A and B are shown apart, each in its own frame.
Chain A
Amino acid sequence: MNETPSKSPSWLIALAWIVVALPLSWGLYQSILKSKPLFMGPAVAAAPPAPAPK
């Protein structure tokens, strides 16, 4: 066998992780934004919707 060992380039490993990390980070950010009302205190979280302007 005359196969020359060649290491996987670092840029390829970084690129592969970036490709999956980008959508994951976006999804995480969206979920944290969505969960914000839960941390706004029970009074605010349970507050009824504001009445429509007359």
Chain B
Amino acid sequence: MLSFLDREHTTAPPGYSRWLVPPAAIAVQMCIGEIYGFSVFNLPLSRTLGITKPAAGDWSVPTIVLCTYSFGLILLGLSAAFFGKWVEKNGPRKAMFASACCFCSGLVIASFGVRIHSLPLLALGYGLVGGIGLGLGYIAPVSTLVKWFPDRPGMATGMAIMGFGSGALVGGPLGVVLMDHFKSATSVGVSEAFLVMAGMYFVMMNFGALIVRVPAQGWVPEGYTPSTETRKLVTAANVSVDVAWKTPQFWLLWMVLCMNVTAGIGVLAQASPMAQDMFGVSAAAAGGFVGLLSIFNMGGRFFWSSYSDVIGRKGAFCVYFILGCALYLLIPYSQKLNSVTFFGAIASVIISMYGGGFATTPAYLRDMFGTMQVGAIHGRVITAWSMAAVLGPQLVTNISAYQKAHGVPKEQAYNGTMYLMAGLLVVGLICNLLVREVDPKHHHKEWTT
């Protein structure tokens, strides 16, 4: 009955436009990217019993963040790594459908968990089941897009990963609107909001699953002739996922992603308190600052990844690390100048490169390991994100808290962290500079692009 989901039933007929694939990918990524906007639920969830203010027995915000946001992101990495080969084998349509089922049923379970005030159910729904949906949906369209756009792989993956970045822009305000609509004297509206979002996201994600197609074997875009010249760090061969993860290139790229994300997510997660502590802006203005960063996080994914088609992936990451390092070192200076505009400009560029790193990674993997199992390899590299999602915010929060506790004025409490982030980017730069072509002995023998 569900055979139309199989890979063999999703092969594009002659004349199918490849420009239908990016919106399919964005539809799925935009929905699962809602996790970036989850913070709008934190405060309402912390008073599900007290309604107007936290009551005895209500959950604390750190507990909520751990059981939902952090748990979900960890599961994203683990499920992407674990199910990567399954996604490659079964194709994007089945993977997108499975992602929709997991992500949306996770929201339904979480909704029930909120209703009966059960933290384990909330964690099971949003963190575990929803997290598996995140991992499947995140990697599902990547290898398909790379195959459809061999002429512009960076731009193609940039469009898809941009969709994930846009999740916060859509999911955050949508959550607020729904909670406002459903809140009452007996409910904060989160449970109802989760249910409605589950329905809306299920429709949207399956719209993506319905229109996505894989190119027929040997298909190339009209007028495109694969380059016969050997380009440095762009292979025409393929490496299987089981071999790829044993190569030094895989672990160097893992470190490259981990360092880039740790530095970026540390600022992204603490942007609001940073702006308030360093420049004394109001909470409303700090909230606006977070919104501004989300726009640059989304835009950077498309811009930088497309630019990597011109300067190469290694060159693009060199820009992220060198420019990023210089900008982190300028943040304490912006505080000395007391210029919130300067700080906002610096942070916006940093966050655009954080997003750019995410979007450039699949194209980098394609250049190093070929298209054969790039989705599965990407899935394993994504574990670097899970690591960084825990590491980055912890570093910023704990170091600034330590400095405040030891008498450092709160305006300067983030300076040490900024220097540390710059150091992490130097480590990433070194790893990126060490990347060389994969030894031909690792190439897959039965498949050539």
Contact of B30 among A20, A32, A35, A38 (CB under 8 A): A20
Assembly CA distance A46 to B170 (angstroms): 27
Does B245 lie at the interface of the complex (its beta carbon under 8 Å from any beta carbon of A)? no
Q: Is the CB of B291 within 8 A of A34?
A: yes
Interface majority SS (helix, strand, loop, mixed), chain A = helix
Known interface pairs A19-B27, A45-B282, A46-B282. Does A26 touch B16 (Cβ–Cβ under 8 Å)? no
Does B294 lie at the interface of the complex (its beta carbon under 8 Å from any beta carbon of A)? yes
B206 to chain A, nearest CB (A): 12
A45 to chain B, nearest CB (A): 4
Residues of B within 8 A of A54 (CB): none
Interface majority SS (helix, strand, loop, mixed), chain B = helix
Known interface pairs A24-B166, A35-B292, A42-B279. Does A16 touch B285 (Cβ–Cβ under 8 Å)? no
A27 to chain B, nearest CB (A): 3
A1 to chain B, nearest CB (A): 9
Assembly CA distance A26 to B26 (angstroms): 15
Does B330 lie at the interface of the complex (its beta carbon under 8 Å from any beta carbon of A)? no
Contact of A24 among B13, B169, B338 (CB under 8 A): B169
| Number of CB contacts from chain A to chain B under 8 A | 106
Q: Is the CB of A35 within 8 A of B288?
A: yes
Does A13 lie at the interface of the complex (its beta carbon under 8 Å from any beta carbon of B)? yes
Residues of B within 8 A of A16 (CB): 20, 23-24, 211
Does A52 lie at the interface of the complex (its beta carbon under 8 Å from any beta carbon of B)? no
Contact of B295 among A6, A31, A48 (CB under 8 A): A31
Residues of A within 8 A of B284 (CB): 37, 45
Q: Is the CB of A5 within 8 A of B15?
A: yes
Assembly CA distance A45 to B329 (angstroms): 25
A43 to chain B, nearest CB (A): 11
Does B112 lie at the interface of the complex (its beta carbon under 8 Å from any beta carbon of A)? no
Which of chain A's residues 1-33 have a Cβ closer than 8 Å to chain B?
3, 5-8, 12-13, 16-17, 19-20, 23-24, 26-28, 30-32
Q: Is the CB of B291 within 8 A of A23?
A: no
Does B221 lie at the interface of the complex (its beta carbon under 8 Å from any beta carbon of A)? no
Contact of A6 among B13, B19, B207, B287 (CB under 8 A): B13
Known interface pairs A31-B291, A37-B282, A46-B281. Does A5 touch B14 (Cβ–Cβ under 8 Å)? yes
Known: A5-B15, A27-B172, A42-B340. 9 other contacts (CB 8 A): A20-B23, A24-B166, A27-B171, A31-B169, A37-B284, A38-B285, A40-B285, A42-B281, A45-B282
Closest A-B pairs by Cβ, 9 of them: A27-B169, A35-B288, A45-B285, A27-B170, A8-B17, A5-B14, A30-B173, A31-B291, A16-B23
By a beta-carbon cutoff of 8 Å, the part of chain A in contact with chain B is: 3, 5-8, 12-13, 16-17, 19-20, 23-24, 26-28, 30-32, 34-40, 42, 45-49
By a beta-carbon cutoff of 8 Å, the part of chain B in contact with chain A is: 13-17, 19-20, 23-24, 26-27, 30, 163, 166, 169-174, 204, 207, 211, 279-282, 284-285, 287-289, 291-292, 294-295, 338, 340, 344
